[in-house]
Structure 1
Amino acid sequence: MPLQRLDSLSAISAQQWDSLVPVAQPFLRHGFLSALQDSGSLGPHSGWQSEHLVLVENGQYLAALPSYRKWHSYGEYVFDHEWANACERAGIEYYPKLLSAVPFSPVTGPRLLAARVEDGLELLAALPGYLELEGLSSAHINFTDAQADIVLGQQPGWLQRLGCQFHWQNREYRDFQDFLDALSSRKRKQMRKEREQVAGQGVEFEWLEGQQVTEAQWDFVYACYANTYAVRRQTPYLTRDFFSVLAERMPESIRVVLAKQGSTPVAMAFSLIGGGSLYGRYWGCLAEFDRLHFETCFYQGMEYAIAQGIQRFDAGAQGEHKLIRGFEPVITHSWHYLRHQGLKAAVSDFLNRERVGVLAYAQEARAALPYRQA
């Protein structure tokens, strides 16, 4: 059963690819991944070259691993820079490597796409030989779901790495006030004050679905997104065309909230929706307002999730400031296959020690949650 490489998703129809995606996960759909490449957000110039691996039998696609050949480790959110630096000092070639992940987005989900488990196992079994043939140092599969963890945990040579994110869970709240009632008195007052500060500046909010966003509004969305990089003197990962291409291919999955002062938009948050989750991805503002980030990126999403009956709100990768707003620590998993045996042994030792710290950090973080104690 041959393992084949797709350098572009244009080589496979959206129907064929999406039939392998096991859940309604928008980041793995043909429309999202192809929009990244077709918009120029990905490519050799960016250090991300599409290299999707598929198993094909009699013209039928049986399994796929959405993946990229990488010449650096930026935009991955599972940081292996120290591994690469150690390799450079030791004279070991770490790049290029193979990465299976959603580019520029630390979102958990399926990675090994297959209708049958045995087909996915067949693809994984062929992967070490592919790495050797292609001269790739390693394979990395980031932010896996529980099913992928089970499969990868049974494969020889793979090392598991733990991380920690913060997600908000909708416990069938009737409205935002019902959520506030679940918090301690001090935290409840703090959130109310933050929201009142934003409202007191004359800022109101408008939610739009993908098909409702005009090109002029996409210009504004991109300007805000790009500004978050400009203030750090960095180049944005995504191009302006990405947003228009994605809106054409997956409008039903897009949600944009615009923060407006009067009729003038001043900030935005861009999200995708699917599989019972709201994924807050990009944010930006063109004017500074006190507490506007918390309202636009967190409270608006939580309120929208409650109103729409969405179970989970994943607002991105970073950190502790989410805890006091009700986002709970969630352990994430990634898997790493390293061909160099000396590097593998050193990384394995590091991961064993790191795992203890990550689990302790997550446990300690739970103590900072704002919910009333039973």
Structure 2
Amino acid sequence: MAVKFSEKALDHVIDEMIDVVDHSKDEIFNISEGARSEYERLLLELRETKNKVIQHIENGDQLDQKVRFSRQRLAEVSKYFDRYSESEIRQVYENTHKMQTKLAMLRQEEKTLREKRDDLERRLINLSKTIERAEGLASKITVILNYLQDDFKQVNEMIEDAKEKQEFGLKIIEAQEDERRKISREIHDGPAQMLANILLRSEIIGKVYQQGDMDKALAEMRDIREMVRSSLYEVRRIIYDLRPMALDDLGLVPTIKKYISTIAEYNNLEIDFVMMGKEKRLNQKYEIAFFRLMQEALQNAIKHAEARFIQVKLEIASNHLRMIIKDDGKGFEPNVKKDKSFGLIGMKERVEILDGQLTIKSAIGKGTAISIQVPYNA
């Protein structure tokens, strides 16, 4: 009886340690995010300050030339004061004094701006180091969690039951039907509509040609050429979406990097990828699921949220996988249900099949953050 009590007490202590370390890791994530936001704000302020310094230098140099000329004029008036009236001498002296005072103030403002610029550069360096340390510390904490969960956590009947439940939940037929519905919608909304439009535009070309308006006919043909090119891209994208070969050959992380690079270049936006934990090959069903989840989240951020910056974070731990997709788009109200929101519904269904949890945080004008976590034992 005493032995069982000790084992339960040890398990309880280890569980609390894991909760504390996991909470600390989340706090480090928040610190890293806050530091990145502050870094971007200071970087913008630094650019504005540098422009002001340049402007003050140019204005100061121009005013300095005027001051030298005015001082020469003052010296001439002072030397030949008998040739000038008292009012003329006073005006030259006052103008010179005003310009000298303005120049001194301008130089002082320039000095203040230079000091501000130097201070911003120092703060940016410190913030950069803070971000680097936070990400390094998060990686170390992930390693600590791996040790706690692998070396100290005992496998029990609950974990076995969870595995059996998870395997049972992965229904192949339902997944196939979901993919068929998704492909059908994409073909209907993409290439099919484009081809119908191309057919209509080709009929217009025939009518325009018969009317003898060659310029308009050529313009219509150029438009059709662009539509054909777009249709070809959509078809290739759908084929790639069916099964990217890199996923089988290279694994999840290299495939994500390649996909992010391609989609960022095509859409002319910035996508940042952060890898936490140890990069390794995963069970095939998890690699496919997480790639699809990331893919759907990016497409939603680009098409619906109109985001210009997206960040993807992937964490591979010993007993779970976590992915966070965050964008700066226009956001939405997660509690308000929308018709035909097939993307988010499909993501939730896929995460539920993996016995995981999907969390969406969003607000109008404040972007969207999607967090996905599923249990995983290598």
- Bin of the TM-score, shorter chain as denominator length: under 0.3
Give the strand-richer structure, 1 or 2: 1
What TM-score, normalized to structure 1? Answer: 0.24
Structure exhibiting the larger radius of gyration computed from Cα positions: 2
What TM-score, normalized to structure 2? Answer: 0.24
